[in-house]
Structure 1
Amino acid sequence: MILSRKSLHRRTFLRGMGATIGLPLLDAMIPAATASTLTVAKPVKRLGYVFMPMGCDITRWTPEGTDKLGELSPILKSLGSVKDQISVLSNLELQPAYPGTHATSNSAFLSAAQARRTESSDYFLGTTADQIAAQHIGRGTQLPSLEMSMDLMQTVGQCDNGYACVYQNNLSWASPTTPLPAEAHPRLVFEMLFGEGATPEERQASLKRRASLLDWVGDDLASLKRELGAADRGRVDDYLQAVREVERRIQKAESDAKDNPLPDLDRPEGVPASYADHARLMFELQILAFQGDITRVTTFQLARETSNRTYPETGVTDPHHPLTHHGNDPDKIARMAKINAFHVSLFAEFLEKMKGTKDGDGTLLDHSLFLYGSGMGNPNVHDHNNLPIIVAGGAAGGMQGGRHIRFDKPQPLANLHLTLLDKAGVDLESFGDSNGMIDELSRPLGI
């Protein structure tokens, strides 16, 4: 690495044999001509989408009142520590998802488009919001976007009421005919972020030649540190420590998997046995990707639609999908709500870490926007009304958190997509079935 400038470029990397590590935002990245004690490096804008399958118990989701977000509902209670940076939106709908299926709940969530009904390969949907963002704010990054999931997506053919499995398997579509598969294995995501090579096989081979990624970048790291001030050295050390810890946990999961006689068929081999530990790893990989400016757009599917996964961490032994067809049985609804709350709690942990991670003049959460929610409202009847939706982050971009926005009349989810794209710097006249922006997200409380 040759440092011929007085300030580091934002795209500075540490390089070793088969490994590349992007750096977090440093004060040394301030252009030399403008650097001063009052200036910090300018952060970038980021967008993330987290998909919760099969709707929820909306009665335990919806907070009391409107405007200021008061006491959080039972499902959302874990978000208390980041309440000032979240907004709950009620009465959003997804009309393009009708006639009402699991496949269209998934496919319409980010596309706001109606899926062509087919069981074959002539599928047709629409370009999703994340990929529109990737075309604008993802240009110039190592990965224009990062697609992640928790389940293996190996089913093909017809999955749901005449709809091809591709609609249920893929949240992100680069075009109406180009779905983007998501990766569920943390090792493979890690290699995408930090490995070098033209193919996944080459990246995997290069990274397996060493005990730790960081072992290969020692010379570059030593050279870099000689150019940095004390504060920046601390930021680099903290980031690399986080990278090493994630790598260690991936290695441990792979080692533990060798002794597991009963693998979960929905889960890739070599991931943590606990769903929560697996999800935390996937969330932390997103934080590393944002810190190193490896990508600025992410999607994450917490489980596939119709998932029969169980969540022993919640004390609920029933598979998820059958519980959603509860027939208005109060006991089943209560058990389903525990799963809903569990998923939200993992998102809350992620937001807390984003809030605790410095980024320029704020935090990663300040400079990122996240949409969390489902394409289904009441799963018992497969409707797509009054969707469970949260927006998080964006304080540095004028987003006003700590609020509950309840629309008097149903509004298209596409309005929210259009608004978030606008906040990220993507100027569109419309998206999907949108009919306007959601100005309430940036309006001060009480106005």
Structure 2
Amino acid sequence: MNLIRKKALSRRTVLRGLGGAVALPLLDAMVPAATASESTAAAPVRRLGYVFMPMGCDLSRWKPPGETTLGELPPILQSLEPVRRQVTVISNLELANAYPGSHATSNSAFLSAAKAKHTEGTDYYLGTTADQLAAKQIGQSTQLPSMELSMDLMQTVGQCDNGYACVYQNNLSWSSPTTPLPSEAHPRIVFESMFGAGGTAAQRRAERNQKASLLDWMSEDIARLNREVGPSDRVRISQYLDSVREVERRIQQSEAAAKDNELPDLDRPMGVPASYADHARLMFDLQVLALQADITRVITFQLARETSNRSYPELGVPESHHPLSHHGNDEQKIAKMAKINAFHVSLFAYFLEKLQQTSDGNGSLLDHSLLLYGSGMGNPNVHDHSDLPIIVAGGAAGGMQGGRHIQYDRPTPLANLHLTLLDKVGVKLDKFADSEGPVDELFEPLSV
């Protein structure tokens, strides 16, 4: 195979071997062949990500103490300190269309801001979600227009919550009002969707038994590529392929450990890390690779499903999350829920730091991405969809001004934020769901 036919590499150059294909990060050698919008920090490739936290949070430990400047971080958000300058907290956003309050509508309205049809049957109806509007416009030139990821298996069917079909609770992304998109929780399946399965079923089994890497089948292409690029690109390629190999090694390690696990977690697919944190970090690492190699530009990730009964004994919280969220103002229960909230935020912080540490053209992946983290509930004790816990991160290359706390003086549609983020990645809409206008404060100079 003649991998490289011209001096300037295509942005779509891949390494191939035994049925697999590994896309590459942006290299200096690609810049002459790339368009300005793909190669510069001033107008980078547009990337959009959403991370969903279930069942609201303890707002007293979430909300920053001051307005305008994001100074001292409250307890739940303290893990964001290393990336504080690229983080903005927005308070008093609401999902009016999620009422009457429920777990199902908390999930379904988060990215759609739409009212779910109240039904237990298959005649469900919602709205196209923000991520899928982006995927239809900025995802068509990538291998995967979008990625829908989660931490839990979504097998529940029928009626799940207050007469709503389980489909509303199971799926964050909808490509049309009647087409929910299922999410994937298994790292192996995500890895193979990104890089290919690598040969026949028998060859894949043999490769796993030998603990071989997909990259072992690509050594010829890797050597040829290294001969064609400069020293800095060789370092970048080596670091990227090391990351791919390390993620693959961790997947193999989890699969091997699963064979000896006599007590499977029913919320967790077989063959994933036994630790929730290890599983989540592996899923975030896969997202970093997908964005770095421009495999996709749109990702949604559900940290846990609504009504999740997962417990977190590693945090000293053996109780299930869902009952704790209905705390009845019991301070001990609220404190334990806050520990879970802080833990989830710390995993998002891990993701942001990885993006910040990953170069992309003249900036970092964090510079060139817009990421929304939050929940469709505010106070879960009363199923409240007002004063939502919302964070926006990244976007420095696109002019987003981080390090701030935006506090609205009245309940304001979350759809305003969706409208704004879509606009910044090139999706121009006059209105999204119940939006009233853009969140201009995100991109205005910070006055102190």
Three-state SS of the structure 2 residue aligned to 1:30 is: helix
Aligned to 2:323: 322
Letter matched to residue 160 of structure 1: D
Letter of the aligned partner of 1:96 in structure 2?
A: N
2:98 partner amino acid: A
Structure-to-structure mapping, 1:63-212, within 5 angstroms? 63-195=64-196, 207-210=204-207, 211-212=212-213
| CA pair 29-295 structure 1, distance change in 2 beyond 3 A | same
Kindly report which structure 2 residues correspond to 1:260-339, keeping only aligned pairs within 5 A, or say none.
Answer: 260-339=261-340
Corresponding residue for 1:402?
A: 403
User: Deviations 1:153-177 (Å, cap 9, x if unpaired)?
Assistant: 0000000011000000000001001
In the TM superposition, structure 1's runs of 4+ consecutive aligned residues that sit over 3 Å from their partners are: 32-35, 38-43, 202-209
Unpaired runs of at least 5, structure 2: none
Q: In structure 1, what is the Cα distance between the partners aligned to 2:204 and 2:135?
A: 27
Residue pair 2:42, 2:397 contacting (<8 A) in 1 also: no
- Rounded to whole Å, the distance in 1 between the matches of 2:314 and 2:425 is 36
Shift in CA distance, 271/336, structure 1 to aligned 2, threshold 3 Å: same
- Give the counterpart letter for 1:58 in structure 2: L
Write the distance in 1 (CA, Å) between the matches of 2:40 and 2:369: 20
Residue 333 of structure 1 deviates from its aligned partner by 0.4
- In structure 1, C-alpha distance between the alignment counterparts of 2:277 and 2:77, rounded to whole Å: 17
Q: Distance in 1 between matches of 2:186 and 2:110?
A: 23
Cα-to-partner distance string for 1:198-244 (whole Å, 9 max, x where unaligned)? xxxx8866644532110111111111111100000110100000000
- What is the CA-CA distance between 1:43 and the residue it aligns to? 3.7
One-letter code of the match for 2:430?
A: E
- The AA in structure 1 aligned to 2:122 is S
Cα distance in 1 for partners of 2:152, 2:45 equals 30
3-state SS, counterpart of residue 87 of structure 1: strand
Where does residue 236 of structure 1 map in the other structure?
A: 237
Q: What is the letter of the counterpart of residue 80 of structure 1?
A: E
CA distance in structure 2 between the aligned counterparts of 1:9 and 1:401, rounded to whole angstroms: 33
User: Hey, what's the Cα distance between the residues in 2 that align with 1:423 and 1:34?
Assistant: 18
Flag the 1:376–1:42 CA change in 2: closer, same or farther, 3 A: closer
Distance 2:410 2:300 in 1: 29
1:106 and 1:63 map into 2 onto residues whose CA distance is 25
Q: Which amino acid aligns with 2:440?
A: D
Matched position secondary structure for 2:300: strand
- Take 1:41 and 1:383, find their aligned partners in 2: how far apart are those partners? 40
1:358-411 Cα deviation digits (max 9, x unpaired): 000000000001000000010000010000000000000000000000001111
Name the SS of the counterpart of 1:370 in structure 2. Answer: strand
Q: Deviations over 1:13-36 (max 9, x none)?
A: 11111100000000101126999x
Instruction: Describe the superposition over 1:345-367 as per-residue Cα deviations: whole angstroms up to 9, x where unpaired.
Output: 01001101110000000000000
Residue 2 of structure 1, CA deviation? 3.5
1:384 alignment partner, SS class: coil
8 Å contact from structure 1 (residues 56, 378) kept in 2: yes
1:161-199 deviation line (CA, Å, top 9, x unaligned): 1100000000000100100000000011001000158xx
How many Å apart are 1:257 and its aligned residue?
1.0
Tell me what 2:416 maps to: 415
The answer to whether the 8 Å contact 1:119/1:164 transfers is yes
Question: How big is each residue's C-alpha offset from its partner over 1:265-285, in whole Å with a ceiling of 9 and x where there is no partner?
Answer: 011011100000000000000
Partner of 2:214: 213
Match of 1:255 in 2: 256
Q: Is the 8 A contact 2:104 2:160 kept in 1?
A: yes
- Structure 1 residues 349 and 33, CA gap change in structure 2 (3 angstroms): closer
Q: Separation in 2 of the partners of 1:347 and 1:12? A: 30
| Alignment check: 8 A CA contact 1:61 1:75 kept | yes
1:61-107: CA deviations, max 9, x gaps? Answer: 00011111000000000000000000000000000101000000000
1:92/1:386 contact within 8 Å kept? yes
Closer, same or farther in 2 for the Cα pair 1:34/1:154, shift >3 Å? closer
Q: 1:33 to 1:115 in 2, by over 3 A?
A: closer
User: What RMSD, in angstroms, separates the aligned Cα atoms of the two structures?
Assistant: 1.8
1:385 alignment counterpart = 386
204 and 385 in structure 1: CA distance in 2 versus 1, 3 angstrom threshold = farther
Tell me whether 204-213 or 307-316 shows the greater mean CA deviation.
Answer: 204-213
Q: 1:256 to 1:109 in 2, by over 3 A?
A: same
Letter of the structure 1 residue corresponding to residue 78 of structure 2 = K
Aligned length: 441
| 1-structure distance, mates of 2:262, 2:44 | 46
Q: TM-score, normalised by structure 2?
A: 0.96
Opposite residue 324 of structure 1, the aligned amino acid is: S
The within-5 A match list for 1:14-93 is 14-31=15-32, 43-93=44-94
Q: Residues of 1 paired with 2:427 and 2:360: CA distance?
A: 22
C-alpha spacing 1:234/1:204, structure 2 compared with 1 (3 Å): farther
Q: Which residue of 2 aligns with 1:426?
A: 427
2:319 aligned partner, one-letter code: D
